[in-house]
Structure 1
Amino acid sequence: MKNKLKFKYIMSSLLIFSIMCININIAEAQLFDVDARAAILIDASTRTVLYEKNIHEALPPASITKIMTMLLAMEALEEEKISLDDQVVVSERASKMGGTQLYLEPGEIKTIEELMKGIAIRSSNDACVAIAEFISGSEELFVQKMNDRAKELGMENTTFKNTNGLPEEGHVTSAYDIALMSKELLKHETVMVWLNTWMDEVVVGTKKQSTQQLVNTNKLIRSYKGANGLKTGYTSEAKHCLSASATRGNNSFIAVVLGAPTSPIRFSESAKLLDYGFANYNTIEIAKKGESLGNVTVDKGKNSSISSTVEDDIYMLVKKGEEQSMEKEIVLKDNIYAPIKKGDKIGEIIITMDGKEVKKANIVSNESVERSSIFTIMGRMFRGMTGH
């Protein structure tokens, strides 16, 4: 009887303890809730997800859509398909976009730079359509490019129906997908200048010109230390949305908030996410693309050695206080045989934490080396024997 009572006492104690643990976990989760329908925080360098809430739910993104519109425009500029000075004739259709706009008139001529400022700073819907038509011939063809690019970036819960985010059935994306395209846009320095401009102006109109004052819709660039973008959005269906980025030193984070009940809440919740990232994590640069990691001997090549580098920039995200437990090891081949193409694997870089391997990346040739002729090889041998 005593054993049964003892068993019941133990089981009751375990049950109470389990309930307490569950309550503690719930309490901890509630301490870091985000007042929005969906939210995410990622490390921009490594794409590590640090906070998530409904991150793959397909939701209307409102003007956050414009991140993809700006990305395609910046890629077209980089590929020299267009230039900032190109003159765009505003169509009837573009001029009739509702919502936030530059109030462009049909037949009006604007440069790509003026239109991009309108999109990045004021979030102008008419400027989006004008740029889309100029790059692709029609908004429909540009939207197809938007969806194709989304697939390339791994945005699996995204379908774009227009260039600006105005309400349209089936026009959706997710917090995670927005983080992916935000990370891609951050690579383009020119657009970052506009995204960080608080005020500017554009002269619009044909018969009667007016100066449109542009005020950035993203208040964080003035109030949050290190904030450098990206884009706000609002419709009655999407509610208040924001993709916010900030950089301090090597640390860059992207916070996305979708469906916040008010505009002040989207900013405060985004700041809370960014605060969490900066307070708890450090991004450590392991190696930069193009940086020499050492030379490797080349047999039978026109050059006797080649320099090595990594395929892409390599970063590691660690919790603060754990930096000293991380080590990197560069392992290069002793020698290789020509011909060698630029980008061929010639070694590995291995990162460990507390002695355990956590990441491995290829080290590649930083240049190409052709196979040398028999005369070059004999000449080297002769110089080796004579000491000259």
Structure 2
Amino acid sequence: MKKLVTGCLSVLFFLTHIGFTSAEETTLEFAEEATSAILMERDTGTVLFDKNSHERLPPASMTKIMTMLLIMEAIDEGRLNWEDKVRTSERAASMGGSQIFLEPGEEMTVKEMMKGIAIVSGNDASVAMAEHLAGSEKEFVRLMNDRAKELGLTNTLFANSNGLPADNHYSSAYDLAIMGKALLQHEKITEFTSIYEDYLREDTSDPFWLVNTNKLIKFYPGVDGLKTGYTEEAKYCLTASANKDGMRMISVVMGAPATKDRNRYITEMFDYAYSQFELHNRYQPEDILAEAKIDKGASRSVQLVPSTPVSLLIKKGQSLDGLTEKVTVSDHVRAPVKKGDQLGIITLHQDGKEVLSQPLVAKEDIKEASIWQLMKRAKDALSGRAS
């Protein structure tokens, strides 16, 4: 285990914090007829409202948030390209519910399939993409559940890629918010989820009109995703994201009695967030905040940067208070080091209370030093002692 060496930065920053008001400390009442709901700020993960957010419930088509996340990760890793052709199996074409009416053997590009998933919640497109990526939907579901574990989701289990009713298929409002947070790290996803209307099969005699199932895309400023859901069991659900006034909010509603209700609940929560709070950004992922020494590395040190933006969510009009900032850096780090390896932590404290803690990661790869580099260093060290 790496030993941690603590070093306090000598500067004092004048920042503010929300007092980190939790849902339990407020008398807010939103989503009164929904089974569960949550309102979360994306960058800090601060929860502004919570109603039964850890209750296990059927997620319906909000399941596709994880499906889209795995697609985006495959794109970013180069395992998938937007123009790759995806063939539709008979099984994929047989899916009911929301669909883009794929025919067995029909081919569409990954980009077209993603439109079908993100805009109209195509169950057939979801299964076609699952089979294309993993060989079978069953294997893809295993990958979905593995990714859920990696995200620390304790109230999520998937049985399929599209959210059609199934035994042992559940999630929670909190878990869906965390999935949404992970998906939104892939900025290109909102190029799909924010489309209100589009077409597939445009070069045919029968183009297919796509209209987004999330009407807030059109009617609430800043909303650019993410996924609706409905089954008789789940009722009306929505995981929504909005980017406004330099702040991104995620809100989830599960078990609302009607479409108009889920939309109203989301807009009320967003109205509250944007009227009452603001985000103070301190550092971005490209900002160098520390340096870690590397033992037997091609370079003797590596620069450390935040893994995500370092931000504080504050109440509008709240007076500024001084926060102390502390950076903790790992000691005795041995090469090789990979870009993104956590080698430190940045924490902010106020009145002796920790109000923020985020990882600091290696800015670049550091390979092991060659034998010649090590010999030269040893020779230089001996020469230094001799002189």
TM bucket, shorter chain: 0.7 to 0.9
1:325 aligns to what? Answer: 321
Give 1:185 shift.
0.8
Give the Cα–Cα distance (whole angstroms) in 2 for the partners of residues 131 and 313 of structure 1: 32
Query: Taking structure 1 as reference, are residues 108 and 285 closer, same or farther at Cα in structure 2, changes over 3 Å only?
Result: same
Query: Taking structure 1 as reference, are residues 340 and 142 closer, same or farther at Cα in structure 2, changes over 3 Å only?
Result: closer
1:33-182 to 2 correspondences below 5 Å: 33-182=31-180
Query: Taking structure 1 as reference, are residues 119 and 314 closer, same or farther at Cα in structure 2, changes over 3 Å only?
Result: same
One-letter amino acid of the counterpart of residue 46, structure 1? T
Contact 1:302 1:376 in 2 (8 A): no
1:261 aligns to what? Answer: 257
Contact 1:102 1:124 in 2 (8 A): yes
1:314 aligns to what? Answer: 310
Query: Taking structure 1 as reference, are residues 287 and 213 closer, same or farther at Cα in structure 2, changes over 3 Å only?
Result: same
1:292-344, Cα deviation, whole Å (9 max, x unpaired): 236799999987986443344322222223362143536588x9999895778
1:138-179, Cα deviation, whole Å (9 max, x unpaired): 111111111111121122112211111112233211111111
Equivalent residue for 1:373, pick from 349, 374, 377: 377
Contact 1:104 1:204 in 2 (8 A): no
Query: Taking structure 1 as reference, are residues 83 and 338 closer, same or farther at Cα in structure 2, changes over 3 Å only?
Result: closer
Deviates more, 1:319-328 or 1:186-195: 319-328
1:21 aligns to what? Answer: none
Equivalent residue for 2:207, pick from 199, 205, 211: 211
Give 1:378 shift.
9.0
1:67-109, Cα deviation, whole Å (9 max, x unpaired): 1111111111111111111111111111111111111111111
Give 1:196 shift.
0.6
2:221 aligns to what? Answer: 225
One-letter amino acid of the counterpart of residue 85, structure 1? E
Give the Cα–Cα distance (whole angstroms) in 1 for the partners of residues 336 and 146 of structure 2: 34
Query: Taking structure 1 as reference, are residues 326 and 305 closer, same or farther at Cα in structure 2, changes over 3 Å only?
Result: same
Query: Taking structure 1 as reference, are residues 52 and 304 closer, same or farther at Cα in structure 2, changes over 3 Å only?
Result: closer
Query: Taking structure 1 as reference, are residues 204 and 365 closer, same or farther at Cα in structure 2, changes over 3 Å only?
Result: closer
Contact 2:324 2:350 in 1 (8 A): no
Query: Taking structure 1 as reference, are residues 340 and 282 closer, same or farther at Cα in structure 2, changes over 3 Å only?
Result: farther
Larger Rg: 1
Instruction: State the secondary structure of the residue aligned to 2:160.
Output: coil
Give 1:191 shift.
1.8
Equivalent residue for 1:351, pick from 324, 329, 348: 348
Give the Cα–Cα distance (whole angstroms) in 2 for the partners of residues 299 and 155 of structure 1: 36
One-letter amino acid of the counterpart of residue 243, structure 2? T
Instruction: State the secondary structure of the residue aligned to 2:185.
Output: coil
Instruction: State the secondary structure of the residue aligned to 2:287.
Output: coil
Contact 2:40 2:177 in 1 (8 A): yes
1:246 aligns to what? Answer: 242
Query: Taking structure 1 as reference, are residues 90 and 209 closer, same or farther at Cα in structure 2, changes over 3 Å only?
Result: farther
Query: Taking structure 1 as reference, are residues 248 and 91 closer, same or farther at Cα in structure 2, changes over 3 Å only?
Result: same
One-letter amino acid of the counterpart of residue 286, structure 1? R
2:16 aligns to what? Answer: none
Per chain length, whose mean CA-contact separation is higher, i.e. which structure has more relative contact order (CA < 8 Å, sep 6+)? Answer: 2
TM-score norm. by structure 2 comes to: 0.79
TM-score norm. by structure 1 comes to: 0.79
Give 1:290 shift.
2.7
Q: Percent same amino acid among aligned pairs?
A: 43
Give the Cα–Cα distance (whole angstroms) in 2 for the partners of residues 258 and 322 of structure 1: 32
One-letter amino acid of the counterpart of residue 169, structure 1? D
Query: Taking structure 1 as reference, are residues 141 and 226 closer, same or farther at Cα in structure 2, changes over 3 Å only?
Result: same
Query: Taking structure 1 as reference, are residues 376 and 240 closer, same or farther at Cα in structure 2, changes over 3 Å only?
Result: same
One-letter amino acid of the counterpart of residue 150, structure 1? A
Give 1:32 shift.
4.0
Instruction: State the secondary structure of the residue aligned to 1:170.
Output: coil
Structure number having the greater helix percentage: 1
Query: Taking structure 1 as reference, are residues 250 and 376 closer, same or farther at Cα in structure 2, changes over 3 Å only?
Result: farther
